[in-house]
Amino acid sequence: LVDAAVVVDGVLRVCPATPYSKGAAWFERPQRVDAGFVTRFAFQFTQQQQLGGDGFAFVIQDHARDAIGSVYGGALGYSDWPECGPGGIPSSLAVEFDLWRNVEWDDPDDNHISVHTRGTGPNCAHERASIGRTSAIPDLHTEDVHVVTIRYEPHPGRLTISMDDASAPVLSVPVDLVSTLGLTNGRAFVGFTAGTGQEVQAHDILDWVFVEG
């Protein structure tokens, strides 16, 4: 657990409903990702003020077990602010669940999933670092529980994201994690990051399973 992240009554609160907060949570040891993986997690946003802010990301990174980005809400805990500064998590790929439109970062709207990476460099929440995105998802501005399934297939290299219905992908992007992130042994830290700005909400992971291979 990094910065504001806590576990309360068996729930991982990646970031609380506190203005200008950030948090991250990682497996203590790097997980093998080069042979593929499936991860499934349930999340819920609560304590939203007005439109809530800002969202969270599922992140794969080969930097550090205590990695975290800027405190600015739009950075979602993995990027820097302003824009693509050196404070983003290097050698990382982030799957954003973003419910605040940062116009200055070219966000398409206030309800989207976007996959961001800058290879081995510091990651960035600006949409120019996105390799795929979709707004065809359920409304995140509620307290509904959503279940996400993410599959990585190493050959030919593809990340597929499903939301609520595991059999119906909402987004699929081509990516080779080993070459993109510069993995030396096929392993990386996996976990979550989140952040708030002036508007807030609690970012809760209710359960989480990660299966290698």
**What's the pLDDT tens digit per position in 174-184?**
999 999 999 98
Which residues touch 151 (CB under 8 Å, ≥6 apart)? 36, 37, 38, 159, 160, 162
DSSP H or E run through 131: strand 130-134
| pLDDT at residue 115, as a whole number | 98
**Cβ–Cβ under 8 Å, residues 34 and 154:** yes
Pick the closest to residue 34 from 162, 189, 210, 188 (CA basis): 188
**What's the pLDDT tens digit per position in 25-56?**
999 999 999 999 999 999 999 998 878 889 99
Phi, then psi, of 73 in degrees rounded to 5: -55, -45
Model confidence band, residue 79 (pLDDT cutoffs 50, 70, 90) = very high
SS3 144: coil
Task: Compute the distance between CA of residue 183 and CA of residue 186 in angstroms, rounded to an integer.
Answer: 5
**Cβ–Cβ under 8 Å, residues 113 and 124:** no
Average pLDDT over residues 96-118: 96
Predicted TM-score (pTM) of this structure:
0.97
| pLDDT at residue 184, as a whole number | 84
**Cβ–Cβ under 8 Å, residues 39 and 210:** yes
